[in-house]
């Protein structure tokens, strides 16, 4: 399933280790606070104000830690264009992991309203996004949308329970070296979209832990090592022509989410095979 929005690698973005205030958000991503839809929208367009949704989520304890909006060619769309927020619950800010609500929307008709369930590991500061088997709610900008938005938020919250169940199940599954290699090989194919070609790095490099606590052989730890190495990049490798290179981080918002979700689904597939 494709994301409702695409974001270029150099889109305006703001991340922080503490919850973002409205003033901080508005300075980088003003489209979140649009009070009306863009003038190009017709009367049939149902306006879903992101700022109001954000206020409701804050009242439920979910606070924004990352915001982004797409670059625009026409300045009159800057305050209405596609945007994304990642919110974490206040009760989990100081833990090792936190559930996240990923919210996408626009006020100029370029994106539907979308909410996804995600997870954030504080040890590597790298967001994990759950696959299509978990919460993924979309609401088009037409008809009576208010109830759909509310129901969508509760559906995502229910999705966190399934995230927790999957994570706990992965933690008790041990993978031998062969199974870890298979998982890493499949992940490399997803990243480089080249199942029959030589990739710039090896399975062993993708499985290499970046910190002492990530040396475990359980499925959850193995998955997180693979995910971090592929998303963050920085691994020494060789191009198809044999030139030395370092793998690049996945910086594009859309590409990051798509790869994260594909990797999650791969890990889920391994969990089901080992169950």
- Segment 11-29, tens digit of pLDDT: 788 888 889 999 999 999 9
- The total of other beta-carbon atoms located within 10 Å of residue 59's CB is 8
Contact 110, 82 (CB under 8 A): yes
Confirm if 41 and 81 have CB atoms less than 8 A apart: no
Q: Average the pLDDT over 26-34 and give the result.
A: 92
Strand ranges for the chain from DSSP E: 13-15, 62-69, 83-89, 97-105, 113-121, 126-129, 136-139, 236-238, 244-246
Model confidence, pTM: 0.66
Per-residue pLDDT tens over the stretch 58-92 = 887 889 988 988 877 777 788 888 888 988 887 77
Q: Which of 67-81, 160-174, 217-231 has the lowest mean pLDDT?
A: 67-81
Summarised one tens digit per residue, pLDDT across range 83-140 is 889 888 877 766 667 778 888 888 887 777 888 777 766 655 566 665 554 556 667 6
Number of residues that this document lists for the chain: 275
- The confidence score (pLDDT) of residue 102 equals 83
Residue 25 or residue 150, greater confidence: 25
Q: What is the chain's Cα-based Rg?
A: 20
**Domain layout of the chain by residue ranges:** 13-163, 177-274
Q: Provide the pLDDT confidence category of residue 172 given band limits of 50, 70 and 90.
A: very high
Which residues lie closer than 8 Å to 241 by C-beta, 6 or more apart?
A: none
- CA dist 206 to 141, 185, 212, Å? 41, 9, 15
Residue with tokens 């959850």: 220
């Amino acid at each position: 399933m494709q994301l409702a929005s695409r974001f270029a690698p150099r889109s305006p973005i703001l991340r922080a280790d503490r919850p973002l205030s409205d003033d901080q958000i508005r300075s980088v991503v003003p489209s979140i606070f649009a009070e009306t839809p863009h003038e190009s929208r017709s009367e049939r367009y149902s306006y879903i104000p992101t700022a109001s949704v954000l206020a409701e989520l804050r009242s439920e304890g979910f606070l924004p830690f990352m915001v982004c909006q797409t670059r625009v060619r026409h300045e009159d769309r800057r305050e209405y264009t596609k945007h994304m927020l990642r919110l974490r619950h206040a009760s989990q800010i100081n833990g090792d992991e936190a559930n996240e609500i990923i919210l996408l929307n626009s006020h100029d008709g370029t994106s539907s309203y979308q909410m996804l369930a995600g997870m954030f590991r504080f040890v590597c500061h790298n967001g994990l996004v759950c696959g299509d088997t978990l919460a993924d709610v979309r609401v088009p900008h037409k008809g009576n949308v208010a109830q759909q938005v509310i129901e969508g938020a509760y559906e995502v919250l229910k999705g966190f329970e399934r995230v927790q169940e999957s994570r706990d199940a992965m933690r008790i599954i041990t993978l031998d070296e062969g199974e870890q290699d298979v998982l890493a090989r499949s992940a490399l194919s997803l990243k480089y979209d080249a199942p029959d070609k030589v990739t710039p790095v090896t399975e062993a490099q993708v499985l290499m832990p970046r910190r002492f606590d990530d040396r475990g052989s359980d499925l959850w730890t193995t998955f997180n090592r693979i995910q971090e190495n592929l998303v963050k990049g920085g691994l020494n490798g060789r191009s198809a022509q044999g030139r030395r290179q370092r793998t690049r981080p996945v910086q594009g918002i859309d590409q990051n989410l798509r790869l994260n979700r594909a990797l999650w689904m791969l890990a889920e597939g391994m969990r089901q095979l080992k169950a």
